[in-house]
Amino acid sequence: MNPRQVADYMFNQDYFSQWMNIKMIEVKENYCLIEMPIKKDMINGLKTVHGGVTFAFADSALAFSSNNTGDAAVALNCIINFTKAGKEGDVFRAESVLVNDTRKTAVYDIQITNQNQELIAKFVGTVYKIGKKVTDL
């Protein structure tokens, strides 16, 4: 399978990403660009996007980019910095780029922006390569 087919295979089993209405914009080896509309049920008590939603969106980008070669990888460590509050009606984009790759781990930089290309959050994810194929899990 090519990277897009692997990402689509994963997405078809990922009911949480489906609930978030994630759309795959671009998928290449160790890279993805995804998009998500901000819905009312993603808003917290301060009328901004819940931080857990933003984190989960970035985590989905990490999953689709770090597994799309067909070799399974799981999150080992993730750090997020929130830079701007999102609001209902926004459209978030997450771009995940491989920055370091070793035999057992890889590091990805993920930027989340809104429809105005304003930075919402910066996420760094480290994954552990588990030695199995995505389609075997």
pLDDT tens for residues 90-103? 999 999 999 999 99
Which pLDDT does position 91 carry in this prediction? 98
Please report which helix (H) or strand (E) contains residue 76, including its range.
strand 71-82
Helices vs. strands in the chain: H and E counts, helices first: 3, 6
Q: Report the distance separating Cα 17 and Cα 34, nearest Å.
A: 11
Of the pLDDT bands very low, low, confident and very high (cuts 50, 70, 90), residue 82 is very high
Q: Where are the domains of the chain?
A: 3-136
The fold of the 3-136 domain, in CATH, is Thiol Ester Dehydrase; Chain A (3.10.129)
Q: Across residues 29-46, what is the average pLDDT?
A: 98
Do residues 35 and 67 lie in contact, with contact meaning Cβ atoms separated by under 8 Å?
no
Which amino acid does the sequence have at 60? Answer: S
Q: Across residues 79-89, what is the average pLDDT?
A: 98
| Mean pLDDT estimate for the chain | 98
- Residue 41's contacts (CB-CB under 8 Å, 6 or more residues apart) are none
> Two tokens at 121?
């959050």
- Residue 117: left if φ>0, alpha if ψ -120 to 50, beta else—which one? left
Q: Across residues 126-133, what is the average pLDDT?
A: 98
Tens of pLDDT along 12-36? 999 999 999 999 999 999 999 999 9
Of the pLDDT bands very low, low, confident and very high (cuts 50, 70, 90), residue 76 is very high
